[in-house]
Structure 1
Amino acid sequence: MLKRLSGFIEQLRGGSDRRPDASGRSPRQPFFSRLRAKYDAANTTLDNMKHWSRTDGLSSASANSPEVRRTLRNRSRYEVANNSYARGITLTLANDVVGTGPRLQMLTPDDAANRFVEAEFFAWAEAIGLAEKLRTMRLARVSDGKSFGLLTSNERVDARGKLDLRLIEADQVASPTLVNDTSRYIDGIRFDADGNPISYDVLRHHPGDDFFSYEEEYNTIPSAAVLHYFCCDRPGQIRGVPDITPALPLFAQLRRFTLAVLAAAETAADFAGILYTDAPANGEADSAEPFEPIELEKRMLLTMPGGWKMSQMKSEQPSTTYAEFKKEILNEIARCLNMPFNVAAGNSSGYNYASGRLDHQTYFKSIRVEQTQLARVVLDRILNAWLREAILIEGYLPNSLRTLDSTFEHQWFWDGHEHVDPAKEANAQKIRLASHTTTLAIEFARQGRDWETELKQRAKELALMRDLGLTIESDESDSPPETKVTEDNAEKSQQQTN
């Protein structure tokens, strides 16, 4: 008995008694000796059952159904239209992403052709208000989840090219009446076998118009003429949800708390005073009607009934935690947009220089990511459509660009972000250039400017100043150190080259 028990204990310890049998396989361990790992978050308990009751395993298309997106759009638009914080946050984000508008730099071998295309595209962009439309598209993505633009022809465009960008709301891109969604047709968008959009069904009138009817006709527009700008959060997602969706309950809490504090303060201010007595029930005190209002006159002496006292209601709202609560709620709201609190609130009184710079680094990185997506999804396609139309205009473009097979290499410049301390930034820029850890192209690009254009302009200014006999006084100690090459170093360099 002791031998069997010791063998059993040895098996639990993982000892050498588990020898292979005749087939060469090791005997199976007892089920209670195997370690089974688990996640606390995967357990459903009485405490977390209600919290996780709304979870589901729906696909991205099913989770973002037309009904769900319509509800989120309506609520987001309401908050942006009625909440000053929501309005300010969306405007700040659109202004920071788009700014005064992108600037084109062509990179083809023909410099003269590059300058011509850049000037003509800038004139066309100003004629159609491209910067304003891009800001509108970014605003729509915050409240609607997406934005659609149609590449159309407009004869009233004051430019050689008549290409125009017409924006439409997300409500108009929808499945027409009695058209069922399938695996290749979802909510007005038709896809091919590889998941690429083929066409979009666009209602001729907004569903919210007073004259909209359910028999409304629609236009089927090929995908080449449609710009669909949204944030894809899940694989297979084809329609976006508002960027402020996670913050919608927080906006409601912020409004409720503000109104509750205001109501409490108003209630306390409405009572000029309260008449009370310390006498016990049926005690010696003159009779007075409960809750009877008494009208008071200014600067008058008053006498109270015998046994009664007068006091004012203490105003305890807003409390000391009122501002702190609003700050925390607003900080949580701005987090879903990668926006720091001082930008969202428009208040940096509680920041020092280092913390402000650190918070802005994450925000500016998010801005650069959004600008890259906007350039790829919207601007590159607009430029390609503009160039193809310009090629068809006889004698418009230079000969080096008059072919549909050309690869139009280019890049986009956006507004730079102003530094909090320009002197420190200028000094850091001088050190980077002197140590050859950066280039003029990179430094000018950070400011949203073309280095070639700026250097040519600077050369013109210096030439004109020399002609006029003007000089620029500068301290030689402030100039960046030059790289000195001695004769020995030159000889060594020449030997290595040989």
Structure 2
Amino acid sequence: MKLLNTIFNRTTEKKSASASELRRGPARIRGRYDAAQTTNENQKHWAAADGFSADMAASPEVRKALRERSRYEVANNSYARGIVLTLANDTIGTGPRLQMLTEDACLNREIENEFSSWSQSIGLAAKLRTMRMARCQDGESFAVLADNPSVGHPVQLDLQLIEADRVTSELSFNQSDDEIDGIRLDAFGNPVSYRVLRYHPGGAALDYQQKAVIIPASSMIHVFRSDRPELHRGIPEITPALGLFAQLRRFTLAVLTAAESAANFAGILYTDAPATGEADAVEPMDLIELERNMLLTMPGGWKMSQLDPKQPATTYAEFKKEILNEIARCLNMPFNVAAGNSSGYNYSSGRLDHQTYYKAIRIDQAFTASNVLDRILQSWLLEYSMFRGDRFASLPTHQWFWDGMEHVDPYKEANAQAARLKSKTTTLAYEYARQGRDWEEELRQLAREKKVMTELGLIEIKPKPAQESFQESNT
């Protein structure tokens, strides 16, 4: 009864409050978002907007269509191929270099040398560039850490790349709640295992049963750009530019077709006489053979004029420039890098655009180091420690070096570097790291070079002044 009285009293209070609000009149709306309004002018523009979750928006069917179109465009569009290649080359370069930072200097050099030798034996740099290209055109990249007896190194760990098409769920009407297109998750949303098809679904092998293997998450490296929370599969990074790539190719073909059509006609006959006027009969679309250095007479009432070609239009270059600038924006790439053309740039504008681009490259390199290279190093050290007889309790302190970004004016950069070192606002380690080099190895190399030059007599050893020698002997 007390519960019923409480509910009844609350209902009565709400009714009385509503009645009082009606007596006061309608409440005023003090704010409104214009973008949230649906009008006759914008309803078509927002017709495709939806409230899907991240995984539902990137459903297997959607990602399949985006992958196929992205691969087609990269394979057939020279600008698309160049942009993807440039992004991979600038991000990975010749490959990362490892520097160990433990207390044991001898162990650090040993691990660095062995890891470098192993990286070359498996082609790590080339595989990392392929993974970066796959992230751009496929949306995600997968790599399996597995043993390979063909590796020419005592550590026979290998990085086996697989395409995103092979990671998929089993065909079933009742999809599991803890699986997202081949990725099984735990209660906290962490990947537990990956279902990988033995054969590519678009390959020559016919596998109607879609046989698959389950790979634990500890042996799988899966990287993609997560643009939304709770997203477990990636979409191509050039997705916003796919339509623009198509427009660029269509416009180029349209300009070329118009120019060819104009060039196919040497001249055209026209008459000022009305349709019922007097003029000699001329067959429509009749051809008149022209000879060099000859005077021609036209049929009575007809004149001949050369066709004025209007293509290629002067706006063609401007259109390509603007659309390429828009295409490259989704990748944080400046126009001159995407187009491979800096003719319209001066020194200041080129440097300003490259600063934003290099910052994006550094962020991507840090992402690759933490999500790919650290995973590889941890597995590599686990196998390498078996040969040494000891194990690392955790991943030792280390850092990765990448190729440095070349300065447009090396003379100015050298002067600025010397000023920073002189004012103690930087260190040798930082300056060498900017160039992608290990400062300890570089200093050892300088010492070796100085020693050899001294032995060969290439460095003149100046004797100390007598006064300085006398003062040093007294002290």
**Fold match (TM-score > 0.5):** yes
What is residue 466 of structure 1 aligned with on the other side?
454
The Cα shift of 1:240 comes to: 0.3
Calculate the aligned-residue CA RMSD, in Å: 1.6
Residues 1:276 and 2:264 are matched in the alignment: no
Q: Name the TM-score, length of structure 1 as normaliser.
A: 0.86
Given candidates 338, 341, 344, the residue that maps to 2:338 is: 344
Matches within 5 A, 1:17-32: 30-32=24-26
Aligned equivalents of 1:280, 1:382: Cα separation in 2? 83
1:78 offset after TM fit, Å? 0.2
The aligned amino acid for 1:469 is G
Matched, 1:428 2:428: no
Say if 2:292 is the partner of 1:304. Answer: no
2:257 to 260, 263, 266: 263
Q: Residue 129 of structure 1: CA displacement?
A: 0.2
Shift of 1:31: 4.2
Q: Report the more deviating stretch, 434-443 or 99-108.
A: 434-443
Distance 1:270 1:472 in 2: 76
Instruction: Give SS of 1:47's match.
Output: coil
Percent of aligned positions with the same letter in both sequences?
Answer: 64
Note the residue ranges of structure 2 that are not aligned, 5 or more in a row.
1-19, 462-475
Name 1:449's counterpart in structure 2. 437
- What is the alpha-carbon distance in structure 1 between the residues aligned to residue 298 and residue 409 of structure 2? 65
Q: 1:221 aligns with which of 215, 223, 248?
A: 215
Alpha-carbon shift at residue 444 of structure 1 (Å): 0.5
1:252 to 234, 246, 249: 246
1:213 match: secondary structure: coil
Partner of 2:252: helix, strand, or coil?
Answer: helix
Moved more, 451-460 or 238-247: 451-460
- Give the aligned residue type for 1:280: P
* Structure 1 position 169 matched with structure 2 position 177: no
Aligned partners of 2:199 and 2:207 also within 8 Å:
no
Q: 1:233 to 1:406 in 2, by over 3 A?
A: closer
In structure 2, give the amino acid aligned to 1:121: F
Normalising by structure 2, we get a TM-score of 0.90
Give unpaired runs (5+ residues) of structure 1.
Answer: 1-26, 474-498
Letter in 2 for 1:195: G
Does residue 1:70 correspond to 2:58, yes or no?
A: no
Change (3 A) 1:374 1:384: same
User: Does the CA-based 8 Å contact 1:181-1:187 persist in structure 2?
Assistant: no
**1:261-280 CA distances to partner (integer Å, 9 max, x unpaired)?**
11111111111110112223
Post-superposition Cα deviations, 1:168-220, rounded to whole Å, max 9, x if no partner, equal: 00000001233743321111110100111000000000000122323021000
Partner-residue secondary structure (3-state), 2:214: strand
1:418 equivalent to 2:406? Answer yes
Residue 142 of structure 2 corresponds to residue 154 of structure 1: no
The alignment partner of 1:150 has SS state of strand
Q: Secondary structure in 1 aligned to 2:99?
A: strand
CA distance in 2, matches of 1:403, 1:152: 20
Alignment CA distance shift 1:472-1:102 (3 Å): farther
Cα 1:33–1:153 change in 2 (3 A) is: closer
Aligned mate of 2:425, from 437, 453, 457: 437
SS in 2 for 1:278: coil
Q: CA deviation at 1:472?
A: 8.5
**Structure 1 residue aligned with 2:282, among 273, 288, 295?**
288
Please give the secondary structure, in 2, of the residue aligned with 1:97.
helix
Post-superposition Cα deviations, 1:344-379, rounded to whole Å, max 9, x if no partner, equal 000000000000000001100000010011111110
CA distance in 1, matches of 2:130, 2:298: 65
Equivalent residue in structure 2 for 1:103, among 97, 102, 106: 97
Task: State the alpha-carbon separation in 1 of the partners of residues 366 and 339 from structure 2.
Answer: 26
Distance 1:136 1:377 in 2: 16
Q: Deviations over 1:219-241 (max 9, x none)?
A: 00100000001111100000000
